């Protein structure tokens, strides 16, 4: 289908930090000196090797520039072709990967300031996720609070694989802050390499690391539900980004079956997990991991059991589709409208204020 130009909201684009030099003006004196004296640089996430085919569409690669590092190209490749009204910047530079939590906090602050000045400040269609030092929940909350006045920051961003499952109580102050300020929590594909990328150890190939990333977000979803995060924070919305969604029907079947058998162990989970997921959890569209036939995709979405789950994304500059085929075949017109527009507005209250 031709792409409907109804002012789509793109819920996952990736501006790239060109290098540490770009962040120097946004670091405090101490960290600017540390970074300079010690030559700290190169913190692009190992989850996204820059030259791997998945991580930049061939016709979006330009002159050896780091994919995603140019605002003009992002406009030309991701915003203009789809008539995009708003796009959410998820910056994947490695603040969450450092072992030093203070440095993580300084880097997160710098990345957010850099995004605000050099991307959001120059392109009104862009908004952003708050990068937080997930290594230290207290510092993460401080960064959220610092960003709250800037309405262009619409959610909190964390990588899918970190030190501990996100349901653990040590992370709850982050959810309290997010819920209070109506900021969804975006769990985005990517690992901080604290644990092997599979529970069976380290795979050999990047293809495997990419495929099993959906397992990390499934683990997070299991944890958030089982630990009672949605019971404690019923208004928290979680967005799972760049990790597929066609696995969701089976995931919910299994999760509900296990909950029925084992709910005495987690009595605070007071309704079926599938109900919680349909109510509180959203998924970005790309990669679709679509079945071979379009009608199978429609049937898979029917199995998910809600038309509110999907949020449009291009995943720019990652290579998930060619040309302007950002929408997989098999979606009917009313669902297309929902995922392009209604669902993002419903998910992001701050977007509603600024865009609608």
Residue 12 burial class via C-beta count within 10 angstroms: exposed 0-12, middle 13-18, buried 19 and up: buried
Q: Which residue has the tokens 């939590």?
A: 101
Using a 10 angstrom Cβ sphere, with 0-12 exposed, 13-18 middle and 19 or more buried, the burial of residue 265 is: exposed
Question: By C-beta, is 186 or 216 nearer to other proteins?
Answer: 216
Rounded Cα gap, residues 283 and 296, in angstroms? 18
Q: β-strand 185-191 against 238-241: which pairing, if any? A: parallel
Longest Cα–Cα distance in the chain: 58
C-beta of 172 vs 206, nearer to other proteins:
206
Nearest-approach distance from CB 165 to other proteins, in angstroms = 5
Residue with tokens 């998924």: 283
Closer to other proteins at the Cβ: 87 or 160? 160
Nearer to other proteins, 72 or 295 (CB): 295
CB 83 → other proteins: shortest distance, Å?
26
Residue (76 or 196) nearer to other proteins, CB: 196
CB of 188 to other proteins, least distance (A): 13
Nearest C-alpha neighbor of 212 from the set 250, 160, 164: 160
Give the nearest distance from C-beta 248 to other proteins in angstroms.
8
Which among 273, 167, 261 has a CA at the least distance from the CA of 217? 167
Q: Which residues contact 204 (CB under 8 A, 6 or more apart)?
A: none
Based on CB atoms, which residue is closest to other proteins, 63 or 199?
199
86/226 with CB nearer other proteins:
226
Are 160 and 243 in contact, with CB atoms under 8 Å apart? yes
DSSP of 157-211: EEEEE-SS-TTSGGGHHHHHHHHHTT-PEEEEEEE-SSS-SBTTB--S-HHHHHH
Q: Which is nearer to other proteins, 41 or 324 (CB)?
A: 324
Residue 163 vs 353, nearer CB to other proteins: 163
Name the nearest CA neighbour of 216 among 286, 291, 159, 276: 159
**Minimal distance in Å, beta carbon 298 to other proteins?**
11
Q: In whole angstroms, what separates CA 269 from the centre of its chain?
A: 25
Distance (Å, rounded) from C-alpha 170 to C-alpha 81?
Answer: 43
Of 121, 143, 125, 124, nearest to 134 by C-alpha is 143
């Amino acid at each position: 289908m031709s792409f409907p130009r109804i002012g789509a909201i793109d819920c996952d684009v990736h501006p790239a930090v060109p290098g540490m030099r770009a962040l120097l003006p946004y670091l405090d004196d101490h960290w600017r000196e540390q970074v300079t004296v010690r030559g700290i640089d190169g913190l692009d996430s190992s989850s996204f090797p820059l030259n791997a085919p998945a991580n930049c569409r061939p016709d979006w690669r330009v002159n050896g520039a780091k994919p995603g590092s140019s605002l003009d190209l992002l406009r030309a490749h991701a915003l203009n072709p789809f008539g995009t009204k708003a796009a959410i910047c998820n910056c994947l530079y490695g603040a969450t990967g450092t072992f030093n939590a203070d440095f993580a906090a300084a880097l997160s602050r710098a990345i957010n300031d850099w995004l605000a000045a050099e991307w959001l400040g120059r392109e009104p269609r862009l908004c952003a996720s708050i990068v937080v030092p997930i290594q230290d929940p207290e510092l993460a909350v401080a960064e959220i609070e610092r960003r709250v006045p800037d309405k262009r920051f619409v959610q909190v961003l964390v990588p899918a694989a970190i030190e501990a499952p996100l349901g653990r109580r040590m992370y709850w102050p982050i959810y309290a802050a997010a819920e209070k300020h109506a900021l969804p929590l975006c769990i985005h594909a990517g690992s901080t390499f604290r644990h092997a990328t599979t529970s069976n150890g380290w795979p050999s190939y990047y293809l495997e690391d990419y495929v099993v990333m959906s397992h990390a977000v499934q683990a997070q979803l299991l944890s958030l539900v089982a630990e009672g995060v949605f019971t404690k924070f019923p208004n928290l919305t979680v967005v799972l980004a760049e990790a597929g969604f066609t696995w969701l029907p089976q995931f919910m079947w299994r999760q509900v079956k296990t909950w029925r058998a084992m709910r005495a162990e987690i009595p605070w989970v007071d309704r079926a997990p599938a109900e919680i997921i349909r109510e509180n959890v959203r998924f970005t569209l790309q990669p679709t991991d679509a079945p071979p036939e379009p009608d199978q995709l429609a049937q898979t979405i029917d199995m998910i059991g809600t038309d509110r789950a999907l949020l449009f994304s291009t995943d720019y500059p990652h290579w998930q589709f060619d040309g302007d085929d950002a929408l997989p075949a098999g979606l009917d017109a009313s669902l297309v409208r929902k995922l392009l527009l209604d669902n993002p507005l419903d998910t992001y209250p701050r977007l509603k204020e600024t865009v609608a």
